[in-house]
A and B are shown apart, each in its own frame.
Chain A
């Protein structure tokens, strides 16, 4: 699934990274606990989170995640946006809840990815 499809499915706003919308993601991970995200090796995944702080971007950076979706309309501050821009990570924000966001993406074929 491409990042722009995620944006459309979730009716999300692009916060930064508009130039990377045709990136492909193969899996998704929804969590507010960054250690849980770090525990699973996934190739090219999108991270959905209700948590908004720089460590969400850093976690995505460490995991080579290309795109972060903030759920429930959460908006990152400028420091977080600057960090994401610097790391070439797309930031999206959707009004949907975590549960609904995951369900909508799952319904369209995105999966959790293999746990290793």
Chain B
């Protein structure tokens, strides 16, 4: 069986729609019969990353590849980039403005949450050009 690939375009101007891609991936994984734990790990990481695309990068693209062994996710944006990835990974570090905080995000817990729920996480970022994030969760 060939792997299933999904592609999503995440608009940057509509916070209310942030999470649509993650919700769709969730329903797909559930339909494919992945365990609830596996589904939750994937979608929590993906949802935090999708929110970041919207609140920090003006939107972007999500590619997901699903195989029986793992789920791979690539999130790409042409946003401002992350000057210091190590710093951004710290719990509580956030450059989000107050209006984002009043929406329930921007506590600086997104990247740490993503790290916690994935088996592999890699961020390539160039300031002024954008960010690409690679995530992998093994199905075990």
When A and B form their complex, what is the total count of cross-chain residue pairs whose Cβ atoms lie within 8 Å?
69
Q: Are A38 and B36 in contact (CB under 8 A)?
A: no
Interface membership of chain A positions 23-57, coded 1 if the CB is closer than 8 angstroms to chain B and 0 otherwise: 00000000011111011010000000101011110
> Nearest Cβ in chain A — how far from B53, in angstroms?
14
Q: Provide the bound-state CA to CA distance between A93 and B135, in Å.
A: 37
Q: Are A38 and B104 in contact (CB under 8 A)?
A: no
Interface status of B19 (Cβ within 8 A of chain A): yes
Interface residues on B, range: 20 to 34
A33/B107 in contact, CB under 8 A = yes
Q: In the assembled complex, how far is the CB of residue A23 from the closest CB belonging to chain B, in whole angstroms? A: 16
Alpha-carbon gap, A87 to B113, bound state (A): 23
| CB neighbours of B23 from chain A (8 A) | 58, 61-62, 87
Binding site for A on B (CB under 8 A): 15-19, 22-23, 26, 36, 40, 43-44, 47-48, 51, 103-105, 107-110, 112-113, 116
The chain A residues found within 8 Å of chain B, CB to CB, are 32-36, 38-39, 41, 49, 51, 53-56, 58-59, 61-64, 79, 87
